[in-house]
Amino acid sequence: MAVLASLQATPLNAIHRSMGARMVDFGGWDMPVQYSGILDEHQTVRKAVGLFDVSHMGEIDIRGPEAARLVDFVTTNAAGRLQIGQAHYSALLYEQGGFVDDILVHRVAENHYFLCVNAANQEKDFAHIRAANRFDAEVEFSSPRYAQLAIQGPFARATLQKLTAVDLSSIRYYWFTDGKVSGVPARIAHTGYTGEDGYEIYISPSDTARLWRELLDAGREFGIKPCGLGARNTLRLEAAMALYGHEIDASITPFEAGLAWIVKLDKGEFLGRERLLKQKEEGVRRKLAGFEMCGRAIARDGYEVLIEGVPAGWVTSGSPSPTLNKNIGLCYLPAGQVRTGLPIQVLVRNQPVDAITVATPFYKRAK
């Protein structure tokens, strides 16, 4: 393994190593890819509860009399319509309509927004927002002040509830509250990236090691396990949630990625709006689609996709689905040809292998 000197580390790095996690370089961060194994961790989140260190994620605070105007100008969703304590999924776009990043926007107060952004994009996002800031608002790069843990799975609430006086059942999905977990300040958000019920808590780096241990203790009776980014990826893929650098990047627009629901063209001016209006009028040329492999071969990111033998697109994410026991993936295809049940071929190691498009998400939890 290469020297880790240049990698960034979360406050839990030494704990991950001492607990036997396998570590990998994830976008410049030394992160656990797995603990007990991706399949085991995946099933644990679907059936019980898993604990993830996602402290590599970035945070940006935006405050000031025109905070809402700035956030609305740099993001696609209607930030000004968020209520205090509410969060939503959104996007930062370039003028040409491609993604700078996909983000979570939380409204902390009338004039205070809290953004959770992708680890590898955080400096870029911060520079992008600052450059666009012609409003009476302050933009703070607050990542160093936060660590983040994700508690995900059917027993996530029962686990976290043991450590907080906040009534978690009162926090609706995609809402959050500032309270205490195990006696220390925490932003408790009813959000997640697994397709399962769960919470993401934002805490001080200095409290993280203790909370990690206490959450593992609290969840023991429910079968909690520490989980790595490998399971996080298979879980989010089953839920058909986008991953930056795969389904979305600077060359892809939200309409192409099937994310029209986070674009509010009627909210007024925002970066990328002109391009999106034009694309809405002209129609998109490609669209993201889900597929299942017909045989046992596994599609992988970047593999070419054919329709009737003719190159038509590419796989953005491909993996075995531990829940469905099938091999699944997402791919871009010509918009005019996309439909559910379309036979396609994925070029697996130079062999065209049959697959068929299916509706997404691949997995939806029972409510």
Q: Which residues bind other proteins (CB under 8 A)?
A: 1, 22, 33-34, 37-40, 230, 234, 296-298, 300, 319-320, 322, 349
> Residue 240 corresponds to which tokens in the numbers above?
């058909």
Beta-ladder partners of 16:
none
Distance, CA of 201 to CA of 49 (rounded, Å): 15
Distance, CA of 290 to CA of 315 (rounded, Å): 10
CB 93 to other proteins: min, Å: 31
Q: Give the distance, in angstroms, between the CA of residue 247 and the centroid of all CA atoms in the same chain.
A: 11
> Residue 32 corresponds to which tokens in the numbers above?
């656990």
DSSP symbol at 120? G
What SS3 state is found at 199? strand
Residues 314 and 307: beta-carbon distance below 8 Å: no
> Residue 78 corresponds to which tokens in the numbers above?
């209607």
CB of 98 or CB of 228, closer to other proteins: 228
Residues 222 and 118: beta-carbon distance below 8 Å: no
CB 37 to other proteins: min, Å: 5
For the chain, percent helix, then strand, then coil, each to nearest 5?
Answer: 25, 35, 40
CB 38 to other proteins: min, Å: 4
CB of 38 or CB of 248, closer to other proteins: 38
Distance, CA of 65 to CA of 67 (rounded, Å): 6
CB 341 to other proteins: min, Å: 25
CB 258 to other proteins: min, Å: 24
CB of 47 or CB of 300, closer to other proteins: 300
CB 349 to other proteins: min, Å: 7
CB of 6 or CB of 350, closer to other proteins: 350
- Helix (H), strand (E) at residue 113: strand 112-117
CB of 105 or CB of 240, closer to other proteins: 240
- Residues in the chain, how many? 367
CB of 35 or CB of 126, closer to other proteins: 35
CB 58 to other proteins: min, Å: 24
CB of 47 or CB of 130, closer to other proteins: 47
Distances in whole angstroms, Cα of residue 279 to Cα of each of 74, 242, 287, 328:
19, 20, 12, 29
Q: How many CB atoms lie within 10 A of CB 271?
A: 21
Distance, CA of 62 to CA of 233 (rounded, Å): 29
CB 356 to other proteins: min, Å: 19
CB of 164 or CB of 317, closer to other proteins: 317
